[in-house]
Amino acid sequence: MAAVSWIYLVDESNLAPNAHVRFYVCGAMALPIDRLPALNEAVRGIRSDCGYAPEDSLKWQTAGRPAHVSVNQHREAKNRVLELPSDLHLRFFPVLTHHRVALRRSVQDRVEFAANFAVGLVERFLGEQQADAIGLFDRRPAGDEGTYLRSLFQRQPDNPPGRDFSLKRTTALGYTVDGASHLASVLDITLGAFCYCVNEGDPEHLTVPRRLWPKVLERMWWTESAPGHRTLRPEGFAFLPVRIRTQAVLDERSAAIDHLNELLPG
């Protein structure tokens, strides 16, 4: 029997489109439970050094910066969160849904569909690790929260018929809120950096995305085939819908992938 040795948190960003936001993004952040105290200690140190009071939110968006925290302090805090040490074994699993598709669904449906997929990515990872986990969700922007968690946890292998979306590695589900977990800050900032890299395509404004993208990639699911040679696992991220029937959506997905590849050093 596998030990419950991981914890993961699920949140979303870019729920509404605009001229620069083409994808709705849901992400999960996982780490071994025994590394959670070290993560908490590290984030508490960052908060203290950068002027955050215990009751202040530490998030990606500048609009959420406390008034007594300067822009430079906020930027330093985010950079330090993105540079947390690799021995925490953080793993980030993003799911992108093009807004042409997402807007065809209600807010509840698009949030639940993407969150289900993010959980599926984490489950694949946990299966390879032969580990079980507890999953937490940020409070959802629509729908009945209890009904959603029950339906996700109670899924059976043949529901819908012939398909298996049942949880194999997640032993408990729950909700958390801003300010109740330092892992939530780490996910929010990583998700924000990921979205910034995806959305900022202006060739004259790529300095920051080029700096951020390697830090985000470091947290995704890699396989190391040889020392210094790593490959990003395709099971660790997703573009939705899986089967794209609209050429415009296919073109924008390809452009997003090309853009992110261009941000890589060298």
For residue 197, give both structure tokens. Answer: 């890299």
Return the ∠ at Cα 32 (arms to 134 and 174), rounded to 5°. 20
Residue 2 in this model has a pLDDT that exceeds 60: no
Query: What pLDDT is stored for residue 220 in this prediction?
Result: 95
Taking CB atoms within 8 Å and a gap of at least 24, the contacts of 70-76 are 74/50, 76/49, 76/50
Query: What pLDDT is stored for residue 161 in this prediction?
Result: 64
Residue 69 in this model has a pLDDT that exceeds 90: yes
- The mean pLDDT of 31-39, rounded to a whole number, is 97
pLDDT-above-70 percentage for the chain: 94
CATH of the domain at 77: 3.30.420.10
Cα(13)–Cα(61) distance, integer angstroms: 11
- The mean pLDDT of 104-122, rounded to a whole number, is 89
Query: What pLDDT is stored for residue 266 in this prediction?
Result: 59
Is pTM beyond 0.95? Reply is no
- The mean pLDDT of 71-91, rounded to a whole number, is 96
Which residues touch 255 (CB under 8 Å, ≥6 apart)? Answer: 201
- The mean pLDDT of 162-171, rounded to a whole number, is 84
Residue 143 in this model has a pLDDT that exceeds 70: no
Mind listing the pLDDT tens digit for each residue in 177-231?
889 999 999 999 999 999 999 987 677 778 899 999 999 999 999 887 767 677 8
Domain count, the chain: 1
Instruction: Give per-residue burial for 57-76: e unless 16+ CB within 10 Å, then b.
Output: ebbbeeeebeeebeeebbeb
SS3 assignment, position 63: helix
Q: 115: left (phi > 0), else alpha (psi -120 to 50), else beta? A: alpha
The domain of 12 spans 4-262
Cα atoms in the Cβ-side hemisphere of radius 13 Å centred on 161: 0
Query: What pLDDT is stored for residue 125 in this prediction?
Result: 96
**DSSP sequence for 164-197:** ----SSEEEEEEE-TTS-HHHHHHHHHHHHHHHH
CB 43 within 8 A of CB 81: yes
Cα(139)–Cα(175) distance, integer angstroms: 6
Which residues touch 266 (CB under 8 Å, ≥6 apart)? Answer: none
The residue among 160 and 150 whose pLDDT is bigger is 150
